[in-house]
Chain A
Amino acid sequence: MSHGNNAAEQVLRSSGVDVRKCMRCGKCTATCPAFDEMEYHPHQFVYMVEKGEIDKLAASPSIYKCLSCFACVERCPRGVEPAKLVEAVRLAVIRKQGMNHLATDAIPALLDEEMPQQALVSALRKYSK
């Protein structure tokens, strides 16, 4: 356990999540629609943030796979809000210079005719600074 490391503290502060509330029931991971796409799953985000293993999470593509559907937030019996941890780790990464997951000019190629603006704006918000 590496309590008190700066990266972990930043994630806790920015997410507002109290990871100690977690009782390891696994309901977040059970309900997560993006499970298959994720390397680390919602319950692991909670546990790994508690252990201070932010680097592993930050390097994982998992942080771009969360759909922000709030299913884990809604269904967690302990009010832990795992999605907020995923967002906090992701922000910690993309806020750094040159760390955008998708560059703005790379996005048009991914779009098709019918894709609504909303998808584009969401992707920009989620993937870049």
Chain B
Amino acid sequence: MQRIGVFVCHCGTNIAGTVDVVAVAKALGQEPGVVFSTEYQYMCSESGQQLMRAAIREHKLTGVVVCSCSPRMHEATFRKAAALEGVNPYMVEIANIREHVSWIHKDMAEATEKAVILGRAAIAKVHLNAPLQAGESPVTKRALVIGGGIAGIQTALDIAEAGFEVDIVEKSPTIGGKMAQLDKTFPTLDCAACILTPKMVDAAQNEKINIFAYSELESVKGYIGNFKAQIRRKARFVDETKCTGCGICTEKCPQKKVPNEFNMGLDNRRAIYIPFAQAVPKVATIDANYCTMMKTGKCGICSKVCGTGAIDYTQKDTVIEREYGAIVVATGFNPIDAKVYNEYGYMDSPDVVTSLELERLMNAAGPTNGTLLRPSDKTHPHTIVFVQCVGSRCDETDERGKPYCSKICCMYTAKHAMLIREKYPDTDVYVFYIDVRTPGKNFDEFYRRAVEQYGVHYIKGQVGKVVEQNGKLHVQASDLLANEQLHIDADLVVLATAIEPDKTARSLGTMLTASMDTNDFFTEAHPKLRPVESPTAGIFLSGVCQGPKDIPETVSQASACAAKVIGVLAKDKLTCNPCVAHSDELLCNGCSSCEKVCPYGAISYSDKEFRGPNRTTLIRRVASVNPAVCQGCGACTVACPSGAMDLKGFSNKQIMAEVDAICK
């Protein structure tokens, strides 16, 4: 018989406000096997834990039930405390009476009754708990970073700095991501390239960092400490080891009509190209969709002009396999497609642009060499209208937009408006806003400067329709404070389109079994306390893949993420989850049902000798589980027809005891 102690937490008033904690402690104290029951204000606090440890010593407890917040919150805390007193950590069970009781029920009698029932279920389970010993598994001392934008680069640099190897997998031909496309950065107005490109070079030169650009993750298997990934290195049709990045091929290529994605399609590039001058790796890539040689077999000019013989039209994709101890997701974002908001005329006029397109139009390395010219007729725009929140902050029923605030638009629009007024003082700039959101260091001051020093017209209202006629963009908008409808003849309209996670995020989330929210942002293990970890062990989150962020936030999160990864890689062994499946060989009939449902291949069969009646020996085929590979899902336990397979920590008997307690 177990000697069980029950500890009911008040959680301040979070629990005690709705649940009569004294009554719960008293009721649970009457349960068979419970030798001690008490309540305390904050069980998770140092003094709360001391109280628990003292009780374990004093009452020689063999099992512990804590009625508190979700086990996802403090299970580990209480297990650790119990272990310090020599009680096996898996003899501790949590009854969740905060998230599942006090926070959702108002009536005290009802909530108290439910808390008691959940406490009884936990007690019933502890009666059947057995001490479990966690095994250990080795750690591969290398990290994988998926995505080579500023988030991925920063995380990789920090991990490498600590002395561990890092691979960056980037799907485009160069690292740099969105930040490489930006002109200036708020609120300091320093040039994005000037602060980003040195980091790109650092990453390239760091001997601990391998950059797999123009590559995609194909599959991932394994678990924390022991991931195996297959990486597809797409054929560039250029030998990376031979190409010097001289760029002659990109000048001589006769196919000049390929939309330049780096410049948001505002100009064209060649079929063989280097995305931008500071690309890393600085290697040419042939775009097979446009290359005349690849399509018709006639041309070959790049091959002729290449001094190092790097061009290889027959190159094939290769798939490499690498092992990792931890994986970082840094897949970033894209602006939504503005074409669904055609009331702003994005599809009708080239002079309606998105903010990212404007970045390229203002960038010295962009299609206009930094001179702000209208795409339609290459003239200076004199009246510019900015529209905020295009596709952000929409109702959940809205089919075009996103329910969240994209967070960066208010600030980059203030930046754009300010830069334009500074460079072209004869330009009238209007910003239509719903709210101006500037929480950040020196952010509101920055916005106020746009208004007060630079004379940007901020108008509380929205644009309803943009009509292009005779070279002007007729903007119809509301001015809510004046209760007017405005009609502005503009030359350029800039849409601050919402940002959304990169399209690859969803399939990546599935591949990594890392959970995502309804907007395809990766979910963190805890929104406040574990913001850079996925709930899936060994998967870490860096940058906008987790939620909208600006550059300073992205960089701090990227470094935080690196710290967490280093925490894993620095260990030689990791403790495994002891709640794994186990087969009772005496009951196993060797049917293979379990083997078929195991997603990890953790179950194997072997012939074993068993003693039969009358001193005979029987040879039977039986299953056994590799505890280092088993992840503890339990699929096999249900498939097993003979009841041989069971899951430690969640055994058939334990769960049925819980069912009984709840239905009593």
Interface positions of A (Cβ within 8 A of B): 21, 23-32, 35-36, 41, 43-44, 71, 75, 77-79
Contact = CB atoms under 8 A, between A and B. Distances in A.
A31 B401 contact: no
A30 B461 contact: yes
Contacts of B389: 25, 77
A75 B394 contact: no
A43 B478 contact: yes
Contact of B434 (A25, A35, A41, A44): A25
B477 A30 contact: yes
B483 A44 contact: yes
Given A29-B461, A78-B394, 20 more contacts: A25-B389, A25-B393, A25-B434, A26-B434, A26-B460, A26-B480, A27-B462, A29-B478, A29-B480, A30-B462, A30-B465, A30-B476, A31-B465, A36-B485, A41-B483, A75-B343, A77-B394, A77-B395, A77-B398, A78-B398
A29 B485 contact: yes
A29 B397 CA distance: 21
Contacts of B394: 77-78
A31 B460 contact: no
B309 interface: no
Contacts of A30: 461-465, 476-478, 485
Given A25-B389, A29-B485, A43 B464 contact: no
A104 to B, nearest CB: 34
Assign chain B's interface to a size class.
20 to 34
A28 B434 CA distance: 13
Contacts of B462: 25-27, 30
Nearest to B399: A79
B434 A32 contact: no
19 contacts: A21-B395, A23-B393, A25-B434, A25-B462, A26-B460, A27-B464, A27-B478, A28-B464, A29-B478, A29-B485, A30-B463, A30-B464, A30-B485, A31-B464, A32-B464, A41-B485, A44-B483, A77-B398, A79-B398
Contacts of A31: 343, 464-465, 476
Contacts of A28: 464, 478
A26 B461 contact: yes
Nearest to B465: A31
Contacts of A79: 395, 397-398
Contacts of B397: 79
3 A-B pairs with least C-beta separation: A31-B464, A30-B464, A30-B478
A59 to B, nearest CB: 18
Contacts of B483: 41, 44
A77 B393 contact: yes
A29 B464 contact: yes
B464 A75 contact: yes
A35 to B, nearest CB: 4
A32 B479 CA distance: 13
B508 to A, nearest CB: 29
